[in-house]
Amino acid sequence: MVKLLIWVFPVLLLVSVPVAQAMLGATGVALWANGKPMAVIAQRLYSPTQSFPMLAIPFFILAGNLMMSGKFGEYLVNIAKLFVGRFKGGLAQVSIIGSVMFGGVSGSAVADASALGNALIPVQRKEGYPAGFAAAVNSASSTVSVLIPPSIPLILYGLVSNTSIIDLFVAGIIPGILLGVGMFSAVYFVSKRLDLPTAELPGGFRAYKSQLWHALPALLMPIFVIGTLRFGIATPTEVSVMAVAYALFVSGVVYRDLTKREIWNAMISTGVMTGAVMIIIMSSSAIQWILTAERTPQTLALWVTSALTEPWMVILALNVIMLIVGTFLDLPAAVLLLGPLFVTIANAIGLDLVQLGLMMVVNLAIGLYTPPVGTTLFISAAIAQTSIGAVVKSLLPFYAVAIVVLMLISYLPFLTIY
């Protein structure tokens, strides 16, 4: 069944069948060809929806949507300008700092790329930034969001690998900061070469301290999430519900800019995003049944560990596979498909599962701004009204930074294990 699955699934993707439908189609063909009951698909579609921790996904998405429905985005941009606007390419630096702060609210790279891209790319174009560079900064920096808690991909990985979501959230902080600092440095040197302008705020801190004060409650959300989880006050699912209540309080009482229409729009957007994630989770469950029935993870782990005798070689091979897969599959689908396979290999070589989770998310996040299936790449190029080729050319320094960070967390366990 697995061989047929491996052939049919890529073919369906190549003819532009959506990922979830391609997984279901490949599973159906594999079951039918081997005389297995098709009822397996219905059973597997239903079973992952009964996971209580899965409720954390829609609630964290809703919390981010509620927070970003008002003026918080404006406050966030002004704060970023305050801290990094004086550097060369100040508006590009704002995009990176904004992504680090935004990640602690949304946990979604796609939401980050859309929200900050629409706010900053048109302004950058007016200031003389090359369209390709502006889109490159936005598409690459937005992936920091998948490392800063609460992170939707880390929640998915925790669910499929039975790894502590709390440990994953805490472990994502340092890699997220490393990625942000690396991209900040890349933007600085490119901006000096292109002689891009600064973006200092007139009046400095005194003129914009009100924005800092107003944005502070929203910026405290990641601290609230991590603190509540770390001290065992609540489970990830309970914290996600508390985050929604916190977002409603901050937007409705502190900012007082949350209307009934904005709440409705936030709920609709959350429903769409959750539906897109859930259909992939449900479809991948059917494929996972076949892989488990055929003992594919165990067979793959045995083959890899016998062919590659050193753990560092296995880790390198895992990274190469994830980098390739990430360019063809969207991040959630790739996590759900590769997670169960790679967990067995990680256990065989003694690789910590938290470290593997961070490796996987960083790897697959690179695919978000890499052709042919780069979600943040396409969003940013569309906003900047430029070609994919122009953006990819400007992305080369960011690829280098991401690979360096990836190698650090792959071979230096202390960066992700506490």
pLDDT at 206: 65
SS3 48: helix
- Tell me the one-letter amino acid at 350: G
pTM: 0.83
User: ω into residue 122 within 30 of 0, thus cis?
Assistant: no
> How far is 191 from 198, CA to CA, in rounded Å?
9
- In order of 21, 29, 208, 289, the CA distances from 35 in angstroms are 21, 10, 68, 15
Size of the chain, expressed as the number of residues it contains: 418
As a whole number of angstroms, the distance between CA 417 and CA 409 comes to: 10
* CA dist 400 → 56, 380, 395 (Å): 33, 19, 9
CA 406 – CA 209 distance, rounded (Å): 37
Which two tokens mark 50?
């009964």
C-alpha separations of 95 from 121, 143, 170, 337 in Å: 9, 11, 23, 31
Q: Where are the domains of the chain?
A: 2-415
Q: What is the rounded distance in angstroms from the CA atom of residue 229 to the CA atom of residue 165?
A: 9
Q: Residue 192: which residues within 8 A CB-CB, separation 6 or more?
A: 88, 89
- Which pair of structure tokens corresponds to residue 21? 């439908």
Instruction: Please report the pLDDT score of residue 227 as a whole number.
Output: 80
Cα→Cα distances 118→16, 95, 142, 200, 371, Å: 28, 11, 12, 20, 21
Identify the pLDDT of residue 104: 58
- The pLDDT value given to residue 21: 82
Give the model's pLDDT for residue 255. Answer: 76
Residue 234's alpha-carbon distances to 51, 230, 243, in angstroms, are 17, 9, 12
Report pLDDT for 103: 64
- CA-to-CA separations, 376 to 3, 54, 110, 324, 379, in angstroms, rounded: 32, 24, 6, 17, 5
pLDDT per residue of the chain (418 residues) written in tens, 0 to 9: 667 777 888 888 778 787 778 888 888 888 888 777 777 777 777 777 777 777 888 888 888 778 776 666 667 677 777 777 677 778 888 888 877 776 656 667 777 787 778 778 888 888 888 999 999 999 998 888 888 877 888 988 998 888 988 899 889 889 988 998 999 899 989 988 888 877 666 665 665 666 667 667 767 777 777 788 777 788 888 888 888 888 888 888 877 877 888 889 888 988 888 887 788 778 877 777 777 777 776 777 777 777 887 899 999 999 998 988 888 777 888 888 888 889 989 998 899 999 999 999 999 999 889 887 788 888 888 888 888 888 999 999 999 999 999 999 999 998 887 6
**Structure tokens of 228?**
């509540």
